[in-house]
Structure 1
């Protein structure tokens, strides 16, 4: 059998045969009943969770009010400590990533962004060369226009 390549155009026989729905009415009914059963079960479960949360909050409110002078500062201290650890860890990860990038760049492995760095270095060296040339031009212009007068 010769090798036939598919053109992939819309409306080919393959595309139209794939999307044909072969569901019978009894199969659709089973799908609907399954979906309805799952949906009702999940709605009941969410209602029970909401009711349990409300009851728990009602029971815990007096305890939270009584212990709030202790809990609020403790929560604040825990938040500050956790955020400090996360920040220091993030800085450590950033430092390791930067050192890894620098090592790869120096080793000649061409890490991501190295081409932009090389381009920026070239632009800066071109501008520095232009400034140097202009400074020389202005210096020679300034030496040629001075008449020897001092201030």
Structure 2
């Protein structure tokens, strides 16, 4: 038993374990290892030269906007505190009105989309709406004829049965 366990733990000749050899020579190269081996292409240089001023301008505008927003907030905070009994209910009313307006629009858009989808699915399934109406009328007429035939057969079956006489002597149908 111990020999079997030892045989299982030993690597078999057909099993090969490969350990990659890591070379750490590139760490000593410094910034050269981070740059590509060949230079950037002309299109990359043009893209960087073109986009750098645009990105810088947009970043500067974002900073100015943030600074302006903070200054405006610092100036208006005392006004918000003084007029808060009026501003808070007005903000709530405006918020609820806008929520209702957007919800109404969303429901209307959803309803129109649903009707459009249903109409398109009907058109694709059988051609057009008038043809579908004619087909529905035919189906209803066929069903009415079928129900009428079954009713007639049921009436004939009832008439062909002899009446049964109950224990009290009355005739049951």
Q: What TM-score, normalized by structure 2, do the two folds share?
A: 0.40
Point out which structure has higher relative CO (alpha carbons under 8 A, 6+ apart): 1
Larger Rg: 2
TM-score (norm 1): 0.44
